[in-house]
Amino acid sequence: MKVNPEDKLHSQKVYVCDEVLAAQQLACLEVLYDFNHTRPSEISKRAELMQQLFAEVGKGCYIEPPLHANWGKHTHFGCDVYVNFNLTLVDDTHIYIGNNVMIGPNVTIATAGHPIDPLLRQQVTQFNIPVTIGNNVWIGANSVILPGVSIGDNTVIGAGSIVTKNIPSNMVTMGNPCKVTREISDHDKVYFYKNRKY
């Protein structure tokens, strides 16, 4: 029975990237190159390239170039997702992004990691664990989401956060490592930023 080389990517086990996988990845990177070289006025061309590049793209999804991705085709976008410039998708396995998600500039979402053992790293081994981001999430600028993390619906990830563990729904979080600071509450219906009222 012939084994699909790409199955290694989604096994959540340690593996070595071979020439077959590298060739498949190159095809994805060619489409990404075209996307990043569109003109600002070429909105329809960008939308068409996004459909080629990603596993799923919901209606109303907008991504500001430049975009960086290892594969593209393992990332799933819901509807009405807004992505500011310089998103990095280390999508060696699946990234699931829900509806109405806002992603600030310079965010990294990583599914891939490397063993701590230095001898294994010398062999250029890696592992991949999926990332899931719920609906109506806001990820602040310069945040990093690490492999295996799930973020619940409506949650805010503060700018500059390093998200190493799952985050529940309806929370305001921040820091390195990212921690829950409080629950979203009626206070947030009165104040939009610190002591500034709507």
Q: Is 96 helix (H, G, I), strand (E, B) or coil?
A: strand
CA distance 105 to 87: 7
Please write the tens of the pLDDT for every residue from 159-186: 999 999 999 999 999 999 999 999 999 9
Quick check: bond before 177 cis, omega within 30? yes
Residues classed as catalytic: 114
Sign, Cα dihedral of 184, 139, 94, 127? negative
Cis before 66 (ω within 30): yes
Query: Taking every pair of C-alpha atoms in the chain, what is the biggest distance, in angstroms?
Result: 64
Amino acid making up residue 5: P
pLDDT (mean) for 55-79: 97
Cα gap 65→135, rounded to integer Å: 23
- Threshold 0.85, pTM exceeds: yes
Q: Point out the least confidently predicted range of 19-23, 60-64, 188-192.
A: 19-23
145 C-beta neighbours (distance < 10 Å), count: 27
The pLDDT value given to residue 81: 98
